[in-house]
Protein backbone atom coordinates (compact mmCIF):
# COMPACT_ATOMS: atom_id res chain seq x y z
CA UNK A 1 0.00 0.00 0.00
CA UNK A 2 1.39 3.44 -0.82
CA UNK A 3 2.05 6.03 1.87
CA UNK A 4 -1.10 8.05 1.18
CA UNK A 5 -3.41 5.03 1.55
CA UNK A 6 -1.47 4.22 4.72
CA UNK A 7 -2.35 7.71 5.98
CA UNK A 8 -6.03 7.21 5.11
CA UNK A 9 -5.99 3.84 6.86
CA UNK A 10 -4.39 5.44 9.93
CA UNK A 11 -7.36 7.85 10.01
CA UNK A 12 -9.78 4.91 9.75
CA UNK A 13 -8.06 3.13 12.64
CA UNK A 14 -8.11 6.32 14.72
CA UNK A 15 -11.88 6.48 14.17
CA UNK A 16 -12.34 2.82 15.21
CA UNK A 17 -10.28 3.41 18.36
CA UNK A 18 -12.57 6.26 19.39
CA UNK A 19 -15.75 4.21 18.90
CA UNK A 20 -16.47 5.42 15.40
CA UNK A 21 -16.85 4.11 11.88
CA UNK A 22 -13.45 3.12 10.47
CA UNK A 23 -13.31 4.95 7.16
CA UNK A 24 -10.53 7.44 6.53
CA UNK A 25 -9.45 9.71 3.74
CA UNK A 26 -6.70 12.09 2.74
CA UNK A 27 -6.51 14.67 -0.02
CA UNK A 28 -3.14 15.00 -1.72
CA UNK A 29 -1.92 18.01 -3.69
CA UNK A 30 1.59 18.21 -5.13
CA UNK A 31 2.51 15.03 -3.23
CA UNK A 32 1.49 16.62 0.09
CA UNK A 33 -1.50 15.85 2.26
CA UNK A 34 -3.62 19.03 2.46
CA UNK A 35 -6.55 17.46 4.36
CA UNK A 36 -7.13 14.30 6.34
CA UNK A 37 -10.20 13.03 8.12
CA UNK A 38 -12.39 10.15 9.14
CA UNK A 39 -16.07 9.37 9.55
CA UNK A 40 -17.54 11.53 12.33
CA UNK A 41 -21.01 9.99 12.71
CA UNK A 42 -20.32 8.79 16.24
CA UNK A 43 -17.71 11.29 17.39
CA UNK A 44 -19.54 14.45 16.26
CA UNK A 45 -23.04 13.04 15.76
CA UNK A 46 -22.64 14.04 12.14
CA UNK A 47 -24.71 12.78 9.23
CA UNK A 48 -22.59 14.52 6.61
CA UNK A 49 -18.99 14.03 7.75
CA UNK A 50 -18.10 10.78 6.08
CA UNK A 51 -14.34 10.20 5.87
CA UNK A 52 -13.99 11.92 2.51
CA UNK A 53 -16.16 14.87 3.59
CA UNK A 54 -14.17 15.30 6.80
CA UNK A 55 -10.93 15.35 4.81
CA UNK A 56 -12.41 17.98 2.46
CA UNK A 57 -13.62 20.02 5.42
CA UNK A 58 -10.24 19.82 7.13
CA UNK A 59 -8.51 20.89 3.91
CA UNK A 60 -10.39 24.17 4.29
CA UNK A 61 -11.55 26.49 1.55
CA UNK A 62 -9.31 25.84 -1.46
CA UNK A 63 -9.30 27.41 -4.91
CA UNK A 64 -10.50 25.28 -7.81
CA UNK A 65 -6.93 25.07 -9.11
CA UNK A 66 -5.96 23.05 -6.04
CA UNK A 67 -8.87 20.59 -6.21
CA UNK A 68 -8.33 20.09 -9.94
CA UNK A 69 -4.77 18.96 -9.28
CA UNK A 70 -5.46 16.75 -6.28
CA UNK A 71 -5.95 13.06 -5.62
CA UNK A 72 -8.44 11.84 -3.03
CA UNK A 73 -7.55 8.65 -1.17
CA UNK A 74 -10.28 6.83 0.71
CA UNK A 75 -10.21 3.47 2.45
CA UNK A 76 -13.67 2.55 1.10
CA UNK A 77 -15.52 3.02 -2.18
CA UNK A 78 -17.22 6.43 -1.95
CA UNK A 79 -20.96 6.70 -1.34
CA UNK A 80 -23.19 8.98 -3.47
CA UNK A 81 -22.63 12.00 -1.18
CA UNK A 82 -18.84 11.75 -1.23
CA UNK A 83 -18.93 11.00 -4.96
CA UNK A 84 -20.95 14.17 -5.46
CA UNK A 85 -18.43 16.20 -3.46
CA UNK A 86 -15.60 14.84 -5.64
CA UNK A 87 -17.56 15.88 -8.75
CA UNK A 88 -18.46 19.30 -7.34
CA UNK A 89 -14.84 20.20 -6.79
CA UNK A 90 -13.56 18.53 -9.93
CA UNK A 91 -11.07 16.27 -8.17
CA UNK A 92 -9.72 14.29 -11.13
CA UNK A 93 -8.45 11.14 -9.41
CA UNK A 94 -9.67 8.87 -6.62
CA UNK A 95 -7.72 5.99 -5.09
CA UNK A 96 -9.91 3.51 -3.20
CA UNK A 97 -8.71 1.09 -0.54
CA UNK A 98 -11.40 -1.50 -1.23
CA UNK A 99 -14.90 -1.96 -2.63
CA UNK A 100 -15.64 -5.46 -1.36
CA UNK A 101 -17.55 -4.50 1.79
CA UNK A 102 -19.33 -1.61 0.04
CA UNK A 103 -19.57 -0.67 -3.63
CA UNK A 104 -20.06 3.05 -4.04
CA UNK A 105 -20.63 5.23 -7.08
CA UNK A 106 -17.48 4.30 -8.97
CA UNK A 107 -19.33 4.05 -12.27
CA UNK A 108 -20.71 7.57 -11.87
CA UNK A 109 -17.23 8.89 -11.13
CA UNK A 110 -15.80 7.17 -14.20
CA UNK A 111 -18.67 8.36 -16.41
CA UNK A 112 -17.72 11.94 -15.45
CA UNK A 113 -14.08 11.43 -16.33
CA UNK A 114 -12.62 10.77 -12.88
CA UNK A 115 -9.73 8.30 -12.79
CA UNK A 116 -10.60 5.57 -10.29
CA UNK A 117 -8.11 3.05 -8.93
CA UNK A 118 -9.14 0.30 -6.51
CA UNK A 119 -6.30 -1.24 -4.52
CA UNK A 120 -8.31 -4.04 -2.85
CA UNK A 121 -6.00 -3.60 0.12
CA UNK A 122 -6.55 -6.39 2.63
CA UNK A 123 -6.01 -4.21 5.74
CA UNK A 124 -8.83 -1.88 4.60
CA UNK A 125 -11.20 -4.81 3.96
CA UNK A 126 -10.32 -6.55 7.23
CA UNK A 127 -10.97 -3.39 9.27
CA UNK A 128 -14.38 -2.81 7.67
CA UNK A 129 -15.39 -6.47 7.99
CA UNK A 130 -14.57 -6.43 11.69
CA UNK A 131 -16.53 -3.21 12.17
CA UNK A 132 -19.62 -4.37 10.24
CA UNK A 133 -19.71 -7.60 12.23
CA UNK A 134 -19.50 -5.67 15.48
CA UNK A 135 -21.87 -2.81 14.63
CA UNK A 136 -24.20 -3.71 11.76
CA UNK A 137 -26.86 -1.19 12.83
CA UNK A 138 -24.43 1.72 12.96
CA UNK A 139 -23.06 0.77 9.58
CA UNK A 140 -26.52 0.56 8.04
CA UNK A 141 -27.38 3.97 9.47
CA UNK A 142 -24.27 5.44 7.85
CA UNK A 143 -25.24 4.23 4.39
CA UNK A 144 -28.89 5.22 4.79
CA UNK A 145 -30.23 1.69 5.15
CA UNK A 146 -31.48 1.60 8.73
CA UNK B 1 -44.58 30.15 -2.30
CA UNK B 2 -45.49 27.53 0.28
CA UNK B 3 -44.50 27.86 3.93
CA UNK B 4 -41.59 25.42 3.72
CA UNK B 5 -39.95 27.27 0.83
CA UNK B 6 -40.55 30.46 2.82
CA UNK B 7 -38.60 28.86 5.68
CA UNK B 8 -35.76 27.87 3.33
CA UNK B 9 -35.71 31.40 1.91
CA UNK B 10 -35.60 32.85 5.43
CA UNK B 11 -32.45 30.74 6.00
CA UNK B 12 -30.96 32.05 2.76
CA UNK B 13 -31.66 35.64 3.80
CA UNK B 14 -30.16 35.02 7.24
CA UNK B 15 -26.98 33.81 5.52
CA UNK B 16 -26.83 36.91 3.29
CA UNK B 17 -27.30 39.15 6.32
CA UNK B 18 -24.30 37.56 8.03
CA UNK B 19 -22.03 37.98 4.98
CA UNK B 20 -22.59 34.51 3.60
CA UNK B 21 -23.90 32.80 0.51
CA UNK B 22 -27.71 33.07 0.38
CA UNK B 23 -28.83 29.51 -0.11
CA UNK B 24 -31.12 27.92 2.45
CA UNK B 25 -32.79 24.58 2.97
CA UNK B 26 -35.22 22.78 5.24
CA UNK B 27 -36.03 19.09 5.62
CA UNK B 28 -39.66 18.30 6.26
CA UNK B 29 -40.99 15.10 7.82
CA UNK B 30 -44.68 14.59 8.59
CA UNK B 31 -45.32 18.25 7.74
CA UNK B 32 -42.77 19.40 10.34
CA UNK B 33 -39.34 20.90 9.78
CA UNK B 34 -36.77 18.53 11.32
CA UNK B 35 -33.68 20.38 10.07
CA UNK B 36 -32.94 23.80 8.66
CA UNK B 37 -29.72 25.37 7.51
CA UNK B 38 -27.88 27.62 5.12
CA UNK B 39 -24.58 27.74 3.30
CA UNK B 40 -21.72 28.04 5.82
CA UNK B 41 -18.74 28.67 3.53
CA UNK B 42 -18.17 32.15 4.91
CA UNK B 43 -19.55 31.79 8.42
CA UNK B 44 -17.79 28.53 9.33
CA UNK B 45 -15.11 28.45 6.61
CA UNK B 46 -16.77 25.25 5.44
CA UNK B 47 -16.33 23.61 2.06
CA UNK B 48 -18.98 20.96 2.69
CA UNK B 49 -21.81 22.78 4.45
CA UNK B 50 -23.91 23.93 1.54
CA UNK B 51 -27.46 24.86 2.55
CA UNK B 52 -28.81 21.35 2.03
CA UNK B 53 -25.89 19.74 3.87
CA UNK B 54 -26.27 22.16 6.78
CA UNK B 55 -29.97 21.28 7.02
CA UNK B 56 -29.11 17.56 7.00
CA UNK B 57 -26.44 18.10 9.64
CA UNK B 58 -28.80 20.11 11.82
CA UNK B 59 -31.47 17.39 11.51
CA UNK B 60 -29.02 15.13 13.31
CA UNK B 61 -28.67 11.38 12.97
CA UNK B 62 -32.01 10.08 11.71
CA UNK B 63 -33.12 6.55 10.90
CA UNK B 64 -33.63 5.63 7.24
CA UNK B 65 -37.39 5.53 7.80
CA UNK B 66 -37.39 9.28 8.47
CA UNK B 67 -35.32 10.26 5.44
CA UNK B 68 -37.39 8.01 3.20
CA UNK B 69 -40.52 9.92 4.19
CA UNK B 70 -39.10 13.42 4.01
CA UNK B 71 -39.09 16.26 1.53
CA UNK B 72 -36.05 18.48 1.10
CA UNK B 73 -36.68 22.11 0.21
CA UNK B 74 -33.82 24.17 -1.15
CA UNK B 75 -33.79 27.69 -2.55
CA UNK B 76 -31.42 26.68 -5.38
CA UNK B 77 -31.03 23.65 -7.64
CA UNK B 78 -28.77 21.20 -5.74
CA UNK B 79 -25.11 20.78 -6.74
CA UNK B 80 -23.56 17.30 -7.22
CA UNK B 81 -22.56 17.04 -3.52
CA UNK B 82 -26.02 17.87 -2.19
CA UNK B 83 -27.60 15.68 -4.86
CA UNK B 84 -25.42 12.81 -3.68
CA UNK B 85 -26.47 13.36 -0.07
CA UNK B 86 -30.14 13.23 -1.12
CA UNK B 87 -29.46 9.95 -2.93
CA UNK B 88 -27.44 8.50 -0.03
CA UNK B 89 -30.28 8.97 2.40
CA UNK B 90 -33.02 8.08 -0.06
CA UNK B 91 -34.95 11.32 0.31
CA UNK B 92 -37.74 10.78 -2.23
CA UNK B 93 -38.76 14.35 -3.01
CA UNK B 94 -36.97 17.65 -3.57
CA UNK B 95 -38.62 21.04 -3.99
CA UNK B 96 -36.35 23.65 -5.58
CA UNK B 97 -36.79 27.41 -5.34
CA UNK B 98 -35.17 28.14 -8.68
CA UNK B 99 -32.69 26.77 -11.22
CA UNK B 100 -32.15 29.88 -13.33
CA UNK B 101 -28.98 31.15 -11.65
CA UNK B 102 -27.55 27.63 -11.28
CA UNK B 103 -28.66 24.31 -12.77
CA UNK B 104 -27.69 21.44 -10.51
CA UNK B 105 -28.03 17.69 -10.90
CA UNK B 106 -31.78 17.55 -11.35
CA UNK B 107 -31.51 14.98 -14.15
CA UNK B 108 -29.46 12.66 -11.95
CA UNK B 109 -32.03 12.97 -9.16
CA UNK B 110 -34.88 12.18 -11.55
CA UNK B 111 -32.98 9.25 -13.09
CA UNK B 112 -32.77 7.72 -9.61
CA UNK B 113 -36.49 8.13 -8.98
CA UNK B 114 -36.52 11.32 -6.92
CA UNK B 115 -39.51 13.58 -7.48
CA UNK B 116 -38.23 17.04 -8.39
CA UNK B 117 -40.38 20.17 -8.43
CA UNK B 118 -38.99 23.56 -9.45
CA UNK B 119 -41.00 26.56 -8.28
CA UNK B 120 -39.03 29.25 -10.18
CA UNK B 121 -39.82 31.52 -7.25
CA UNK B 122 -38.84 35.09 -8.07
CA UNK B 123 -37.66 35.98 -4.53
CA UNK B 124 -35.16 33.07 -4.64
CA UNK B 125 -33.84 34.12 -8.06
CA UNK B 126 -33.62 37.80 -7.12
CA UNK B 127 -31.63 37.03 -3.96
CA UNK B 128 -29.11 34.88 -5.83
CA UNK B 129 -28.78 37.36 -8.70
CA UNK B 130 -27.99 40.14 -6.24
CA UNK B 131 -25.44 37.97 -4.46
CA UNK B 132 -23.68 36.76 -7.63
CA UNK B 133 -23.40 40.35 -8.88
CA UNK B 134 -21.91 41.44 -5.56
CA UNK B 135 -19.60 38.47 -4.95
CA UNK B 136 -18.86 36.56 -8.16
CA UNK B 137 -15.58 35.16 -6.85
CA UNK B 138 -17.14 33.75 -3.67
CA UNK B 139 -19.92 32.22 -5.71
CA UNK B 140 -17.49 30.60 -8.14
CA UNK B 141 -15.50 29.19 -5.22
CA UNK B 142 -18.66 27.62 -3.81
CA UNK B 143 -19.42 25.75 -7.03
CA UNK B 144 -15.82 24.68 -7.58
CA UNK B 145 -15.13 27.06 -10.45
CA UNK B 146 -12.55 29.45 -9.00
How crowded is the C-beta side of A22, counted as CA atoms within 13 Å? 24
- C-alpha angle B51/B55/B57, rounded to 5°? 115
pLDDT tens-place string over residues B14-38: 999 999 999 999 999 999 999 999 9
For residues A93-132, b (16+ Cβ closer than 10 Å) or e, as one string?
A: bbbbbbbebbebbbebbeeeebebeebebebbbebbeebb
Predicted local confidence at residue A50, as pLDDT: 98
What structural domains and CATH numbers belong to chain B?
Answer: 3-138 (3.40.140.10)
B-interface mutation test, from A21, A46, A48, most B Cβ less than 10 A away: A48
Nearest-angstrom CA–CA distance, B82 and B36: 14
For residue A146, pLDDT beyond 90 = no
Which among A11, A52, A98, A105 is annotated as catalytic?
A52
Q: If you average pLDDT over residues A95-123, what whole number do you get?
A: 98
Predicted local confidence at residue A113, as pLDDT: 98
Helices (H), B60-116: 64-67, 80-89, 106-111
Name the percent of chain B in helix, strand, coil, to the closest 5.
45, 20, 35
For B68, nearest residue in chain A (alpha carbons): A144
For residue A1, pLDDT beyond 90 = no
- 3-state SS class at A82: helix
Average per-residue pLDDT in chain A? 97
Contacts with A87 from chain B: Cβ below 8 Å: 80-81, 84
Task: Write the DSSP symbol of residue B61.
Answer: S
Question: Comparing A61 with A1, which gets the higher pLDDT?
Answer: A61
Q: Are strands A115-118 and B32-38 parallel, antiparallel or unpaired?
A: unpaired
For residue B5, pLDDT beyond 90 = yes
Predicted local confidence at residue A145, as pLDDT: 92
Q: If you average pLDDT over residues B103-131, what whole number do you get?
A: 98
CB–CB contact B88 A79 (8 Å): yes
- Contact of B80 with chain A, judged by CB distance below 8 Å, is answered with yes
CB–CB contact B47 A61 (8 Å): yes
pLDDT tens-place string over residues A6-54: 999 999 999 999 999 999 999 999 999 999 999 999 999 999 999 999 9
- Which helix (H) or strand (E) segment holds residue B97: the answer is strand B93-98
For residue A135, pLDDT beyond 90 = yes
Q: What ipTM does the predicted assembly reach?
A: 0.97
Q: If you average pLDDT over residues A71-97, what whole number do you get?
A: 98
How far does the CA of residue B103 sit from the closest CA of chain A (Å)? Answer: 13
Tell me the pTM: 0.97
Predicted local confidence at residue B146, as pLDDT: 86
Predicted local confidence at residue B1, as pLDDT: 80
CB–CB contact A47 B62 (8 Å): yes
Does the annotation count B17 as an active-site position? Answer: no
CB–CB contact A141 B53 (8 Å): no
| Positive/negative CA dihedral, B138, B143, B144, B146 | negative
Amino acid sequence: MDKFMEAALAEAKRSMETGGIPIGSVIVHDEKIIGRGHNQRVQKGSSVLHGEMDALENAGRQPASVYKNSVLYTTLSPCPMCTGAILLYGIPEVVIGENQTFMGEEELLKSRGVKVTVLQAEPCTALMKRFIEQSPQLWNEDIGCE
